[in-house]
Amino acid sequence: MELKRRTGFSVGSIGGTLRCWFDAASEPSPTPDEARRIDWLRIVPFLAIHTLCVSVIWVGWSPFAVAVAAALYAIRMLAVTGFYHRYFSHRAFRTSRAAQLAFAVLGATAAQRGPLWWAAQHRHHHAHSDEAPDSHSPRQHGLLWSHMGWFLARENYRTRIEAVPDLARYPELRFLDRYDAVVPLLFAVSLYVTGEWLTSAAPALGTNGLQLLVWGFAISTVALYQITFTINSLAHRLGTRRYATRDDSRNNLWLALLTFGEGWHNNHHHFPGSTRQGFYWWEVDLTYYVLRLLAATGLIWDLRTVPAHIRSSRLIDEKKHA
């Protein structure tokens, strides 16, 4: 009782939170008063990843570590945009069950929760885009909350399993979603171990375990977080509107470049099921190009595209929205 009076936490609540770090199924349903609160103990791992970036002052840098960070940013951005988003959330193409699991594991290294949680949140967003129930609408909740606050709020911890019945029938996906900390943790440990091995195996690279952990995991992951989150926030505020969607979604070239195609957000809200979000050849969509390469190998197939009649419907005179 004394601990709870002084800190707001009880031994039981601390133990429950620690369980939630490793077992998302143990997440309790928040009361209406708690729904939009941030549980600071619950988000310690998220804060720790950001804080770890500061240690670059001590671990230093090497061309190899920076290259690893950039490569892992690119690979994991493609995993989030191509698989968590376009495949799991919208089923914009088809693949085998084995490849589906591999894509899910790769996406999980981005530390943006499990594939079911991610897809369920995104489907909920499309069902209520920029309406009151939309968890990350700048119109409803402000720019900062739409960018990152919603991700930390108690009401969004649990997986909306009812929104993803097609995915929930796979026990391997449910496992990844329930124990969503396992893959990022193993990924971080593997980077540290690799760096330590390279210290003696390839000393000319000038790296070590802590340096690869900071650059390859922390800095790369935080960059991935913050740039991915811009689609929820800035892509509903900055850019142009080609289509008269019921939300505030916008097309933004700079966000499209940073997120490998996700910045064509107004296009996406006009026809969410398209594998290609850059509807025209001049709209750069790196994720789509990579998915086309995967389709050429036979790893994925039946890539959906926007029909011509839909692409030319509900157009806005862009001069009025410059």
Q: What is the pLDDT of residue 28?
A: 78
The answer to whether the beta carbons of residues 263 and 292 sit under 8 Å apart is no
% helix, strand, coil for the chain, step of 5:
60, 5, 35
Q: Where are the alpha helices (DSSP H) in the chain?
A: 2-7, 11-22, 44-52, 56-59, 63-78, 97-108, 115-127, 138-141, 143-144, 150-152, 165-168, 171-178, 182-201, 209-212, 220-229, 253-258, 265-270, 286-297, 308-311
Cβ-based neighbour number of residue 49 at 10 Å: 18
Q: What is the pLDDT of residue 35?
A: 76
Q: Domain locations in the chain?
A: 60-321
Q: What is the pLDDT of residue 6?
A: 42
10-residue stretch averages of pLDDT, the chain, 322 residues long? 42 66 80 82 93 97 98 98 98 98 98 96 96 93 93 90 96 96 97 98 97 98 97 97 97 98 98 97 98 98 96 79 42
Q: Which of 150, 130, 315, 125 is nearest to 229 (CA)?
A: 150
DSSP state of 219: I
> Model confidence over 195-223: pLDDT tens digits?
999 999 999 999 999 999 999 999 999 99
The model's pTM: 0.91
Q: Which of 311, 252, 303 is nearest to 87 (CA)?
A: 303
Burial of 201 (0-12, 13-18, 19+ CB in 10 A): exposed
Q: What is the pLDDT of residue 235?
A: 97
The answer to whether the beta carbons of residues 83 and 107 sit under 8 Å apart is yes
Q: What is the pLDDT of residue 174?
A: 97
Q: 111 Cβ partners below 8 Å, 6+ apart?
A: 49, 184, 221, 225
Q: What is the pLDDT of residue 20?
A: 80
Q: How far apart are CA 46 and CA 110, in angstroms?
A: 12
Burial of 280 (0-12, 13-18, 19+ CB in 10 A): exposed
Q: What is the pLDDT of residue 16?
A: 66
Please tell me whether residue 264 adopts helix, strand or coil conformation: strand
> Model confidence over 11-63: pLDDT tens digits?
446 766 778 878 887 777 787 778 788 888 889 999 999 999 999 999 999 99
Q: Which run of H or E residues covers position 95?
A: strand 94-95
